[in-house]
Amino acid sequence: MFSYNDENINFHHSFDTHPTENNISDSTIHAHKKHEIFYFLQGKASYLVEGHIYKLFPGSIMIMRSGELHKVEIKADAPYERMVLHFDEAIIDFIDPEHKLLEPFCSRPLGVGNLFLPNGIRTSHIYECMKSIDSAPENNEMRKLAISANLFSILYEIKMAYLERDNELLNKKAVSPAGEIIEFINANLGAELSLELLSSKFFISKNHLNRVFKTSTGVTVWEYIKLKRLMLARSHILEGASASAACENSGFKDYSAFFRAYKKQFGVSPREGALVKHQ
């Protein structure tokens, strides 16, 4: 259906009649360089974010910050419709230099407080903003203008809903058997991480650790660590670090292995990645 993509903003309105038969791109674990606003229109699905599972209802809104791993889980072969907006935080610098509008995205633990239900936010207003984008004239200049004009209104509504929430919800740990492990990994991406170390620290066998982790996140411990380190390395590179420095500071010990993993994940080499401004 509708789509627009540039280095700062991406928007798409997508509809799948038989989602379980198709290769839906958001059904595999992934993360973005940009922040994401996901508006669920119809279907039977849940969203998995950093080990926390959210059941979706029509009108639900999910938010994910840059680097926050997530995927959709389709529950039935019913029509699946959503509108998704990605934006680079630099786009709000001029109007909101202190990034107050980004607090709902960045001022909470990973995987906690991602979901806004229809009764907890002015869904109708956000829907109208999304529809305004969706109905923009079919040329890139007008589509970009429609997205930019509506983005701040959407972010303001999310910010106000965030402020009205129970603070205990936003300060608690993620409700997941792997929650503490996920938190530890993200706090130590540049340090030594191994199944042996995690098994010892959390008093759990390596096999059971991997089973619990994959049930919670959809990937094994090592797959999670590798993807998070790659996201961190890309962030370092886009901030101006050399490929070798990004490799070392992200916890990779072997540059050749890092190079292959980076190119497989992002489609470009680490050095080429410095020139890539959007995903």
- Domain-embedded: residue 278: no
Q: DSSP state, 30? A: B
- 93 is in which domain, residue-wise? 3-171
| Residues 162 and 185 reside in one and the same domain | no
| Residues 141 and 226 reside in one and the same domain | no
| Residues 188 and 240 reside in one and the same domain | yes
| Residues 166 and 208 reside in one and the same domain | no
**pLDDT(133) > 90:** yes
171 by Cβ neighbours in 10 Å (0-12 / 13-18 / 19+) ranks as exposed
**Residue in 60, 85, 106, 62 with CA at minimum distance from that of residue 148:** 85
| Residues 104 and 216 reside in one and the same domain | no
CATH number, domain of 88, equals: 2.60.120.280
Which residue type does 198 have?
L
Residue in the block written with tokens 């994401």: 36
Across the chain, mean pLDDT equals 88
Residue that finishes a domain, picked among 144, 171, 198: 171
Position 275 confidence tier, pLDDT thresholds 50, 70, 90 = low
pLDDT recorded at residue 39:
97
Alpha-carbon gap, residue 11 to 34, rounded angstroms? 12
| Residues 161 and 190 reside in one and the same domain | no
| Residues 33 and 148 reside in one and the same domain | yes
- Domain-embedded: residue 81: yes
Q: Which helix (H) or strand (E) holds 131?
A: helix 123-134
Number of domains forming the structure of the chain: 2
Which tokens sit at 58?
């029509």
| Residues 139 and 269 reside in one and the same domain | no
Between helix 255-266 and helix 221-238 the angle, nearest 10°, is 90
- Domain-embedded: residue 102: yes
Instruction: Tell me what the mean pLDDT of segment 179-189 comes to.
Output: 89
CATH number, domain of 220, equals: 1.10.10.60
For 205-228, how does the pLDDT look when each residue is reduced to its tens digit (9 = 90+)? 999 999 888 888 888 999 999 999
Q: Is 86 helix (H, G, I), strand (E, B) or coil?
A: strand
Q: Is 53 helix (H, G, I), strand (E, B) or coil?
A: strand
Cβ distance 161 to 126 under 8 Å? Answer: no
pTM of structure: 0.85
Cβ distance 155 to 92 under 8 Å? Answer: yes
Residue that finishes a domain, picked among 109, 138, 171: 171
- In this structure, of 87-91, 183-187, 212-216, the range with the lowest mean pLDDT score is 212-216
- Domain-embedded: residue 279: no
Instruction: Tell me what the mean pLDDT of segment 100-125 comes to.
Output: 91
> Cα 110 to chain center, whole Å?
10
| Residues 162 and 195 reside in one and the same domain | no
Residue that finishes a domain, picked among 171, 187, 218: 171
For 256-270, how does the pLDDT look when each residue is reduced to its tens digit (9 = 90+)? 999 999 999 888 999
| Residues 194 and 264 reside in one and the same domain | yes
Alpha-carbon gap, residue 24 to 6, rounded angstroms? 21
Alpha-carbon gap, residue 199 to 212, rounded angstroms? 12
Position 178 confidence tier, pLDDT thresholds 50, 70, 90 = confident
| Residues 23 and 69 reside in one and the same domain | yes
| Residues 52 and 134 reside in one and the same domain | yes
**pLDDT(278) > 50:** no
Cβ distance 148 to 91 under 8 Å? Answer: yes
Which tokens sit at 134?
């969706």
Q: What is the DSSP string of 224-242?
A: HHHHHHHHHHHHHHHTT--
